[in-house]
Structure 1
């Protein structure tokens, strides 16, 4: 019969402590796993509303850029949805821009896709799109990367190539304008919020000057026949209290589109919805066609008009720019 080995008191204390440590480690591991799963689920969850929040990567000669895509729920196989491309401003990323603009909520209701390309902080430390850097070619390279993202979404997620619009805030608005001047046939509408007209800057220094109304060169122009035939209609939203990108830039952008097509401004309309800031809406028309629409909000600063409260670069008291932009784009999609 084997002799029973008696454990010393120290051995018993060690075994009890080890067992307790094991149980605590397992509990901690379970809690950590649960928290990790919650974080992963949170990242996959779209910023607002039901639907899918999809990550993607566009690669081209200019490097690579991440993007996020919002897809509304219950998309049918073979169903082609319109696409709205949203380009964030400086200090923002795809998720914060989606949260600020709340465009996903409109997309869920109206059934369209929303693409949020994201600037790389290695390309610009402030997260700004380099729309101005045309001399070095960086502006054009970034524009091509955004086009790669659009092509991917059209191919992989059933976006309708014939119904694509692009919108942006500040630097994103200026990049949106650059996109349509380089690829006019790819877009049905362009919407600029607090941006600078194309062709007015070619370097960081001249971009800062243009933001404050100083122009190193004249805005991009072309023959009226070519512009009227190719450039999509433009919507401009700009705040009268904007001290970052002066309101004169919004007016200049509208005049570039109108002048190139030979359009003339109609009388401005004063509009106020509920308790939101009033706005003045001016259409630039060529015969029966509206070439550009300028929405001026006198009490708005450098912020997304009607955006979510407590979000950076967002003013909930302004007219709902996201709704206005979708209505503008939807009208062009029907033509």
Structure 2
């Protein structure tokens, strides 16, 4: 019986090449699909830790915005918890901000809810809140959508409406200030980390000047001077080496808040824990009540102080801004 001869010559080379090419293409295509799908899956996966990571959508006259809500474990029937609203900065979303700040970990321990509204990339390709665009009204529309998200969460979950605070980083900090300027009665405290005070910009061009500290800050609305107790206390956290948003913006925000309430500064106190950056803290008080607190962190750039390592706009060498923000808000809730 004749033996089968192995395919040789051009036909054999062609067959073997096609087999190798098909196998290589399949592996390359599979790897490309996995690489494309991974960011989507990562975004849907909740941050590490106990508790619930809930998706939601707020809809209003200005459109819609997605949000995420963190609920700590062990909530019992009838229990109402404080709410911390966290507004991310440019280049971030709800999950990356939660991962960077680790606010959920504090919420699980201290028992409060955390709301993370999320900017739409269609509205801003960099993911920045358009806090500055007041001339066109777009800033007010986004603020209204964030308030819609807050109202929705208050309606659907166990929120104590008397204990709501808002905090933000960079563009999120500026949007937090705008929210409070428009709805001071809704918040018990506001924390601005590396942001710009309200009324400093009204367009994209003026926002650039404001970021570099070249724009004057207008006084708060007249109603603030008439009813200073209606405005929630402000904490400003800012790094001395911030090259994106000038540190003078932090000082201006605190000063305009203090001026509206007739508050005066106490002497600054220095704080340093271990090898973390040194901090200077100045309280502005009126009749014994803290109206504003300025936290200046020596050596910190444009990043969340004490944030998780290897995260965008996060610096683990600074004192923990999340702890400071919650401690500040909790003090106001008790008061």
What TM-score do you get using the length of structure 1 for normalisation? 0.86
1:45 Cα deviation (Å)? Answer: 5.1
1:257 Cα deviation (Å)? Answer: 0.4
Residue 272 and residue 154 in structure 1: after superposition, are their counterparts in 2 closer, same or farther (change >3 A)? same
1:288 Cα deviation (Å)? Answer: 0.4
CA distance in 2, matches of 1:226, 1:244: 34
Q: How does 1:1-335 map to 2 (within 5 A)?
A: 46-215=46-215, 218-222=218-222, 225-335=225-335
Q: Deviations over 1:182-240 (max 9, x none)?
A: 00000000000000000000000000100001116635343564351211000000000
Say if 1:48 and 1:104, in contact at 8 Å, map to a contact too: no
Say if 1:198 and 1:219, in contact at 8 Å, map to a contact too: no
1:158 Cα deviation (Å)? Answer: 1.1
- Where structure 1 has 5 or more consecutive residues not aligned to the other structure, the ranges are 1-31
Say if 1:264 and 1:285, in contact at 8 Å, map to a contact too: yes
- Where structure 2 has 5 or more consecutive residues not aligned to the other structure, the ranges are 1-32
CA distance in 1, matches of 2:209, 2:191: 22
What TM-score do you get using the length of structure 2 for normalisation? 0.86
1:55 Cα deviation (Å)? Answer: 0.1
213-222 or 63-72, larger mean C-alpha shift: 213-222
Q: Deviations over 1:13-39 (max 9, x none)?
A: xxxxxxxxxxxxxxxxxxx9xxx9xx8
Q: Deviations over 1:270-323 (max 9, x none)?
A: 000121101000000112001000000010000000000110100000010000
CA distance in 1, matches of 2:180, 2:93: 22
CA distance in 2, matches of 1:217, 1:291: 18
Count of matched residue pairs: 298
Q: What secondary structure, in the 3-state scheme, does the structure 2 residue paired with 1:251 have?
A: helix
Q: Deviations over 1:147-183 (max 9, x none)?
A: 0000111111111111000000000000000000100
Say if 1:224 and 1:262, in contact at 8 Å, map to a contact too: no
CA distance in 1, matches of 2:126, 2:215: 23
Say if 1:58 and 1:146, in contact at 8 Å, map to a contact too: yes
Say if 1:44 and 1:53, in contact at 8 Å, map to a contact too: no
1:43 Cα deviation (Å)? Answer: 5.8
Residue 227 and residue 206 in structure 1: after superposition, are their counterparts in 2 closer, same or farther (change >3 A)? farther
CA distance in 2, matches of 1:200, 1:92: 23
CA distance in 2, matches of 1:143, 1:230: 19
CA distance in 2, matches of 1:105, 1:305: 16
What's the C-alpha RMSD, in Å, of the aligned pairs?
Answer: 1.6
Say if 1:234 and 1:292, in contact at 8 Å, map to a contact too: yes
Say if 2:166 and 2:189, in contact at 8 Å, map to a contact too: yes
